Amino acid sequence: MASAMASGGRIFGPLALALAVSHGAAEAKDPVVYCLDKDRDQVSRVKAQDCRGEIIDKARADEIKAARVRRIQGIMRRGKPKPPAAGTKLASIGTGFFVTADGRLLTNNHVIDGCKALSVETPSGRRVKGHLLDRNVAFDLALVRAEMRPDAIITFRDPPALVLGERADLVGYPTQGIAPILPFHTEAELLAEHGRPGDRNRFQIKGDVRGGNSGGPVLDGSGYAIGVIFAQLNSVAIYKHTGKVPDDIGIAVANPVVFEFLRRNDVAYRVADSGPALDRPKMFKKARDFIVRVGCWR
Protein backbone atom coordinates (compact mmCIF):
# COMPACT_ATOMS: atom_id res chain seq x y z
CA MET A 1 0.00 0.00 0.00
CA ALA A 2 1.34 3.43 -0.95
CA SER A 3 2.41 5.63 1.91
CA ALA A 4 0.07 8.51 2.82
CA MET A 5 2.92 10.51 4.37
CA ALA A 6 5.41 12.75 2.63
CA SER A 7 8.32 14.83 3.84
CA GLY A 8 7.43 17.58 6.31
CA GLY A 9 4.70 15.47 7.90
CA ARG A 10 1.97 16.53 5.44
CA ILE A 11 -0.74 14.04 4.52
CA PHE A 12 -1.63 13.15 0.94
CA GLY A 13 -3.72 10.58 -0.82
CA PRO A 14 -6.92 8.83 0.39
CA LEU A 15 -6.21 9.52 4.06
CA ALA A 16 -6.04 13.27 3.40
CA LEU A 17 -9.37 13.11 1.59
CA ALA A 18 -10.95 11.19 4.45
CA LEU A 19 -9.68 13.68 7.02
CA ALA A 20 -10.87 16.62 4.93
CA VAL A 21 -14.35 15.10 4.65
CA SER A 22 -14.37 14.39 8.39
CA HIS A 23 -13.24 17.96 9.18
CA GLY A 24 -15.89 19.41 6.89
CA ALA A 25 -18.57 17.34 8.59
CA ALA A 26 -17.46 18.61 12.01
CA GLU A 27 -17.63 22.22 10.80
CA ALA A 28 -21.10 21.64 9.39
CA LYS A 29 -22.28 20.23 12.71
CA ASP A 30 -20.87 23.13 14.70
CA PRO A 31 -20.50 26.15 12.37
CA VAL A 32 -19.13 29.52 13.40
CA VAL A 33 -21.82 32.21 13.14
CA TYR A 34 -22.40 35.91 13.66
CA CYS A 35 -24.08 36.29 17.07
CA LEU A 36 -25.91 39.51 17.99
CA ASP A 37 -26.12 40.53 21.67
CA LYS A 38 -29.12 42.87 21.44
CA ASP A 39 -28.72 44.28 24.95
CA ARG A 40 -25.23 45.58 24.13
CA ASP A 41 -25.74 45.96 20.38
CA GLN A 42 -22.57 43.94 19.74
CA VAL A 43 -21.77 41.26 17.18
CA SER A 44 -19.28 38.47 17.79
CA ARG A 45 -18.14 35.37 15.90
CA VAL A 46 -18.83 32.24 17.95
CA LYS A 47 -19.83 28.62 17.49
CA ALA A 48 -23.56 28.29 16.91
CA GLN A 49 -24.01 26.34 20.14
CA ASP A 50 -22.37 29.16 22.12
CA CYS A 51 -24.54 32.00 20.75
CA ARG A 52 -26.71 33.44 23.55
CA GLY A 53 -28.29 36.05 21.31
CA GLU A 54 -29.62 36.13 17.75
CA ILE A 55 -27.81 34.44 14.85
CA ILE A 56 -27.64 36.89 11.94
CA ASP A 57 -26.09 36.92 8.45
CA LYS A 58 -22.88 38.69 7.47
CA ALA A 59 -24.63 41.59 5.74
CA ARG A 60 -26.57 42.52 8.89
CA ALA A 61 -23.47 42.00 11.05
CA ASP A 62 -21.50 44.42 8.87
CA GLU A 63 -24.35 46.95 9.05
CA ILE A 64 -24.50 46.79 12.87
CA LYS A 65 -20.73 47.09 13.20
CA ALA A 66 -20.66 50.11 10.85
CA ALA A 67 -23.45 51.81 12.83
CA ARG A 68 -21.53 51.22 16.06
CA VAL A 69 -18.39 52.76 14.56
CA ARG A 70 -20.40 55.82 13.49
CA ARG A 71 -21.76 56.24 17.02
CA ILE A 72 -18.29 55.98 18.55
CA GLN A 73 -16.94 58.48 16.02
CA GLY A 74 -19.76 60.85 16.93
CA ILE A 75 -18.87 60.55 20.60
CA MET A 76 -15.21 61.21 19.80
CA ARG A 77 -16.13 64.29 17.77
CA ARG A 78 -18.07 65.68 20.72
CA GLY A 79 -14.77 65.62 22.57
CA LYS A 80 -14.32 66.88 26.08
CA PRO A 81 -17.61 68.19 27.50
CA LYS A 82 -17.88 71.94 27.84
CA PRO A 83 -18.39 72.98 31.48
CA PRO A 84 -21.91 74.30 32.21
CA ALA A 85 -20.24 76.89 34.47
CA ALA A 86 -16.87 78.57 34.03
CA GLY A 87 -14.04 77.18 36.12
CA THR A 88 -15.73 73.85 36.93
CA LYS A 89 -14.76 70.27 36.14
CA LEU A 90 -16.84 67.13 35.90
CA ALA A 91 -16.57 65.50 39.33
CA SER A 92 -19.04 62.61 39.13
CA ILE A 93 -22.05 61.29 37.24
CA GLY A 94 -25.35 59.63 38.01
CA THR A 95 -28.53 58.64 36.22
CA GLY A 96 -31.78 60.54 35.88
CA PHE A 97 -35.06 60.08 34.02
CA PHE A 98 -37.64 62.47 32.59
CA VAL A 99 -41.06 62.65 34.26
CA THR A 100 -42.55 65.62 32.38
CA ALA A 101 -42.58 66.82 28.79
CA ASP A 102 -41.14 70.21 29.82
CA GLY A 103 -37.85 68.63 30.92
CA ARG A 104 -38.25 67.92 34.65
CA LEU A 105 -36.46 64.79 35.77
CA LEU A 106 -35.75 62.73 38.88
CA THR A 107 -32.39 61.63 40.23
CA ASN A 108 -30.79 61.06 43.65
CA ASN A 109 -29.96 63.87 46.05
CA HIS A 110 -26.45 62.48 46.50
CA VAL A 111 -25.89 62.76 42.71
CA ILE A 112 -26.39 66.55 42.77
CA ASP A 113 -25.30 67.33 46.34
CA GLY A 114 -22.50 69.91 46.55
CA CYS A 115 -22.42 70.53 42.80
CA LYS A 116 -21.71 74.04 41.50
CA ALA A 117 -23.40 73.19 38.21
CA LEU A 118 -25.31 70.30 36.61
CA SER A 119 -25.32 68.87 33.10
CA VAL A 120 -27.97 66.62 31.57
CA GLU A 121 -27.06 64.45 28.58
CA THR A 122 -29.21 62.08 26.53
CA PRO A 123 -27.93 58.83 24.96
CA SER A 124 -28.06 60.57 21.57
CA GLY A 125 -25.53 63.17 22.77
CA ARG A 126 -27.71 66.21 23.50
CA ARG A 127 -26.16 67.99 26.47
CA VAL A 128 -27.72 70.93 28.34
CA LYS A 129 -27.62 72.62 31.72
CA GLY A 130 -29.65 71.26 34.61
CA HIS A 131 -31.22 73.32 37.41
CA LEU A 132 -32.04 71.94 40.85
CA LEU A 133 -35.69 72.53 41.78
CA ASP A 134 -36.10 70.59 45.03
CA ARG A 135 -34.66 67.74 47.07
CA ASN A 136 -35.70 65.24 49.70
CA VAL A 137 -32.59 64.40 51.70
CA ALA A 138 -34.29 61.75 53.85
CA PHE A 139 -35.20 59.63 50.81
CA ASP A 140 -32.30 60.74 48.58
CA LEU A 141 -34.46 62.25 45.84
CA ALA A 142 -33.88 65.35 43.73
CA LEU A 143 -35.98 67.13 41.12
CA VAL A 144 -34.05 68.79 38.29
CA ARG A 145 -35.15 70.80 35.26
CA ALA A 146 -33.19 70.32 32.03
CA GLU A 147 -33.09 72.98 29.32
CA MET A 148 -34.65 70.62 26.75
CA ARG A 149 -37.83 68.81 25.86
CA PRO A 150 -37.34 65.02 26.11
CA ASP A 151 -38.17 62.45 23.46
CA ALA A 152 -40.28 60.55 26.02
CA ILE A 153 -41.27 60.54 29.68
CA ILE A 154 -41.44 57.62 32.06
CA THR A 155 -44.61 55.84 33.18
CA PHE A 156 -44.90 54.76 36.82
CA ARG A 157 -46.72 51.60 37.78
CA ASP A 158 -49.76 52.28 39.95
CA PRO A 159 -50.84 50.48 42.02
CA PRO A 160 -47.18 49.80 42.76
CA ALA A 161 -47.65 46.46 44.57
CA LEU A 162 -44.41 44.49 44.49
CA VAL A 163 -44.10 40.75 43.97
CA LEU A 164 -41.06 38.93 45.35
CA GLY A 165 -38.97 37.45 42.57
CA GLU A 166 -40.55 39.59 39.87
CA ARG A 167 -38.37 40.88 37.08
CA ALA A 168 -36.68 44.22 37.57
CA ASP A 169 -34.44 46.08 35.13
CA LEU A 170 -32.02 48.97 35.57
CA VAL A 171 -31.06 51.31 32.74
CA GLY A 172 -28.41 53.84 33.61
CA TYR A 173 -24.74 54.72 33.66
CA PRO A 174 -23.00 52.26 36.00
CA THR A 175 -19.32 53.03 36.49
CA GLN A 176 -17.12 50.21 35.20
CA GLY A 177 -13.64 51.54 35.84
CA ILE A 178 -14.50 54.73 33.96
CA ALA A 179 -17.72 56.72 33.75
CA PRO A 180 -19.69 55.48 30.71
CA ILE A 181 -20.97 57.79 27.99
CA LEU A 182 -23.75 55.47 26.82
CA PRO A 183 -26.35 53.78 29.07
CA PHE A 184 -26.22 50.13 30.07
CA HIS A 185 -28.93 47.63 30.87
CA THR A 186 -28.69 45.55 34.06
CA GLU A 187 -30.95 42.56 34.73
CA ALA A 188 -32.29 42.23 38.27
CA GLU A 189 -35.19 40.88 40.31
CA LEU A 190 -37.14 41.94 43.37
CA LEU A 191 -35.50 40.46 46.45
CA ALA A 192 -37.42 41.98 49.37
CA GLU A 193 -40.31 44.41 49.87
CA HIS A 194 -38.36 46.43 52.42
CA GLY A 195 -34.98 48.13 52.76
CA ARG A 196 -34.77 47.15 56.43
CA PRO A 197 -37.27 45.11 58.43
CA GLY A 198 -40.50 47.08 58.65
CA ASP A 199 -39.39 49.78 56.17
CA ARG A 200 -41.97 49.84 53.37
CA ASN A 201 -40.61 53.06 51.87
CA ARG A 202 -37.71 51.19 50.30
CA PHE A 203 -37.17 47.77 48.75
CA GLN A 204 -34.31 45.49 47.75
CA ILE A 205 -33.36 44.15 44.35
CA LYS A 206 -30.79 41.54 43.40
CA GLY A 207 -28.61 42.86 40.59
CA ASP A 208 -25.22 44.32 39.75
CA VAL A 209 -25.83 47.85 41.09
CA ARG A 210 -22.84 50.16 40.68
CA GLY A 211 -21.90 53.76 41.19
CA GLY A 212 -23.51 55.70 38.34
CA ASN A 213 -26.76 53.69 38.52
CA SER A 214 -27.77 56.10 41.30
CA GLY A 215 -30.91 58.04 40.44
CA GLY A 216 -32.09 55.66 37.74
CA PRO A 217 -35.49 53.97 37.66
CA VAL A 218 -36.16 50.39 38.64
CA LEU A 219 -38.33 49.09 35.78
CA ASP A 220 -40.79 46.22 35.75
CA GLY A 221 -41.32 43.86 32.82
CA SER A 222 -43.46 46.46 31.04
CA GLY A 223 -40.80 49.14 31.31
CA TYR A 224 -42.80 51.00 33.99
CA ALA A 225 -41.03 52.47 37.02
CA ILE A 226 -41.58 50.80 40.39
CA GLY A 227 -38.96 52.82 42.25
CA VAL A 228 -35.71 54.77 42.13
CA ILE A 229 -32.38 53.04 42.81
CA PHE A 230 -30.11 54.87 45.24
CA ALA A 231 -27.62 52.50 46.89
CA GLN A 232 -25.94 49.13 47.08
CA LEU A 233 -25.80 47.29 50.39
CA ASN A 234 -22.60 47.91 52.33
CA SER A 235 -21.02 44.46 52.00
CA VAL A 236 -18.18 45.20 54.42
CA ALA A 237 -20.46 46.43 57.20
CA ILE A 238 -22.85 43.50 56.80
CA TYR A 239 -19.97 41.01 56.84
CA LYS A 240 -18.71 42.50 60.12
CA HIS A 241 -22.13 42.04 61.72
CA THR A 242 -23.23 38.73 60.19
CA GLY A 243 -20.15 37.01 58.81
CA LYS A 244 -21.92 36.79 55.45
CA VAL A 245 -21.19 38.74 52.26
CA PRO A 246 -24.33 39.89 50.40
CA ASP A 247 -24.11 39.35 46.66
CA ASP A 248 -25.20 42.21 44.37
CA ILE A 249 -28.04 43.71 46.41
CA GLY A 250 -29.35 47.19 45.68
CA ILE A 251 -31.79 49.44 47.54
CA ALA A 252 -34.51 51.51 45.89
CA VAL A 253 -37.03 54.13 47.02
CA ALA A 254 -40.59 52.87 46.51
CA ASN A 255 -43.13 54.60 44.25
CA PRO A 256 -45.42 55.97 47.03
CA VAL A 257 -42.51 58.06 48.37
CA VAL A 258 -41.65 59.23 44.85
CA PHE A 259 -45.30 60.19 44.19
CA GLU A 260 -45.46 62.24 47.39
CA PHE A 261 -42.27 64.10 46.42
CA LEU A 262 -43.61 64.88 42.94
CA ARG A 263 -47.01 66.03 44.27
CA ARG A 264 -45.21 68.32 46.73
CA ASN A 265 -43.72 70.05 43.71
CA ASP A 266 -46.98 70.10 41.71
CA VAL A 267 -45.52 67.72 39.14
CA ALA A 268 -48.10 65.80 37.11
CA TYR A 269 -46.65 62.35 36.42
CA ARG A 270 -47.84 59.50 34.23
CA VAL A 271 -49.16 56.29 35.83
CA ALA A 272 -50.65 53.06 34.48
CA ASP A 273 -51.43 49.51 35.52
CA SER A 274 -48.77 46.99 34.63
CA GLY A 275 -48.84 46.52 30.87
CA PRO A 276 -47.76 43.75 28.51
CA ALA A 277 -44.30 42.34 29.10
CA LEU A 278 -41.52 43.52 26.82
CA ASP A 279 -38.46 41.50 25.94
CA ARG A 280 -35.38 43.13 27.39
CA PRO A 281 -33.96 44.56 24.14
CA LYS A 282 -37.28 46.35 23.45
CA MET A 283 -37.45 47.57 27.03
CA PHE A 284 -33.90 48.94 26.81
CA LYS A 285 -34.70 50.72 23.54
CA LYS A 286 -37.81 52.26 25.11
CA ALA A 287 -35.93 53.40 28.22
CA ARG A 288 -33.21 55.15 26.22
CA ASP A 289 -35.73 57.88 25.31
CA PHE A 290 -36.27 58.99 28.92
CA ILE A 291 -32.91 58.12 30.54
CA VAL A 292 -30.21 60.79 30.98
CA ARG A 293 -26.67 61.07 32.30
CA VAL A 294 -26.52 63.66 35.10
CA GLY A 295 -23.16 65.34 35.54
CA CYS A 296 -21.99 67.01 38.75
CA TRP A 297 -19.53 69.87 38.15
CA ARG A 298 -17.37 71.39 40.87
* pLDDT tens-place string over residues 21-37: 444 444 455 688 999 88
Q: What are φ and ψ of residue 53, in 5° steps?
A: -125, -135
- Cβ(290)–Cβ(153) below 8 Å: yes
Sign of CA dihedral 155, 96, 42, 220: negative
Question: 246 burial class (0-12, 13-18, 19+ CB within 10 angstroms)?
Answer: middle
Q: What is the pLDDT of residues 180-215, one digit of tens each?
A: 899 999 999 999 888 877 788 999 999 999 999 999
Tallying the residues shown for the chain, one arrives at 298
pLDDT at 76: 57
CATH 2.30.110.10 correct for 83-298:
no
Cα 1 to Cα 234: distance, rounded to the nearest angstrom: 74
Per mean pLDDT, which range of 60-69, 141-150, 221-230 is the poorest?
A: 60-69
Alpha carbon distance 8, 218 (integer Å): 63
pTM of the model: 0.73
% the chain with pLDDT above 90: 61
Question: Residue ranges per domain, the chain?
Answer: 13-78, 83-298
Helix (H, G, I), strand (E, B) or coil at 110: helix
- Summarize pLDDT for 64-73 with one digit per residue, the tens: 888 777 766 6
